[in-house]
Amino acid sequence: MSGRDDADGAGGPGGSGDANDVGGVPDVALDEALAAVAGEQPLINSVTNDVTVNDVANITLYWGGLPVMSDDEREVGDMVGIADGCLLNMGTVSESGEVTMLTAGRAANEAGVPLVVDPVGVGATPTRDRVADRLVTDLDVDVLNGNYGEISALVGDDAEVRGVESVGEYAEIAAAAVECARKTGAVVVASGETDIVATEEAAFEVDAGHSMMGAVVGTGCMLGVTLAVFEAALDDPLSAALSGTAAYGLAGELAAEGAFGDYRGPASYKIAFLDAVAGLADASTPDIADRIDRIEVR
């Protein structure tokens, strides 16, 4: 339940090579994933939107990563080439921004740097549709992060996206996420009331989060860079998507429970949420296996 405003088997520290749990759910050890992030301190270059750039930088740091926000075409390729991960976020689309994102994405592909793409607002305007199509077609994307409407729009399903917000009903979102994974070759995270993580072969439901997260602008952007941080540390897209999505949702729950201070509304909740991200590794990290269920998709 990320409340965004708006995959078979895993390897590496966050999962195992076989989906051998009940229902074919990969093993995901959140404490190991958080320790890997802390140990790696991955440098993440985010080419993101003007609205949430500070939040994206801070949450990168709070997870244990190192943020850099290079968005100048003249240097972004060099910066991405020395980074451990890269996020491309379409939140504020411009002609120069499109060029910069493509330059950054190509540099990531050439250097073997994990790439996360957040096609914000795709489905809302022809310009965003065109830019999103270029990003997922021209680039090799490791993780694709979008809300229900955006993921549906990418595969040509009926989607209602107003501005950058997903509205409407999406009863077949798991199937759409799997189709999107097949189309793009990426692990897909469809964020909404219940988050869906999908590969070309399977879909998983991640039951974590709180409705207050939907009252804060930028939670989708912050989820995107969370996935970039975890992918850089774990070097496995499915492990990163499952553990990163679950960790993000758990931080939202802890903030709502008052574990990181009382809140009186969306503004103070946001502060508690950011504190929860920073403190999650030191909190009593629960076993998240019972939060992840495999969904049968034909």
Nearest to 27 by CA among 230, 204, 277: 204
Query: Alpha carbon of 112 to those of 96, 119, 131, 275: distances in Å?
Result: 24, 21, 22, 32
Non-local (6+) Cβ contacts of 147 within 8 A are 4, 6, 165, 166, 190, 191, 192, 220
- Residue environment code for 8-45, b if the CB has 16+ CB neighbours within 10 A, otherwise e: bbbbbbbbbeebeeeebbbbbbbebbbbbbeebebbbb
Sign of CA dihedral 13, 28, 44, 129: positive
Q: Are strands 43-47 and 66-68 parallel, antiparallel or unpaired?
A: parallel
Phi, psi torsion values for 190, nearest 5 degrees: -105, 110
Q: How far apart are alpha carbons 226 and 89 in whole angstroms?
A: 13
Q: How far apart are alpha carbons 200 and 213 in whole angstroms?
A: 28
Supply the DSSP string of 138-170, one letter for each residue. Answer: HS--SEEEEEHHHHHHHTT---EEETTEEES--
147 a known binding residue?
A: no
Q: Reduce the DSSP state of residue 278 to 3 states and report it.
A: helix
218 a known binding residue?
A: yes
191 a known binding residue?
A: yes
First to last CA, the chain: 24
In this structure, the chain runs to a length of 298
Q: How far apart are alpha carbons 58 and 14 in whole angstroms?
A: 23
Annotated binding site: 69, 145, 191, 218
Annotated binding site for substrate: 69, 218
Annotated binding site for ATP: 145, 191
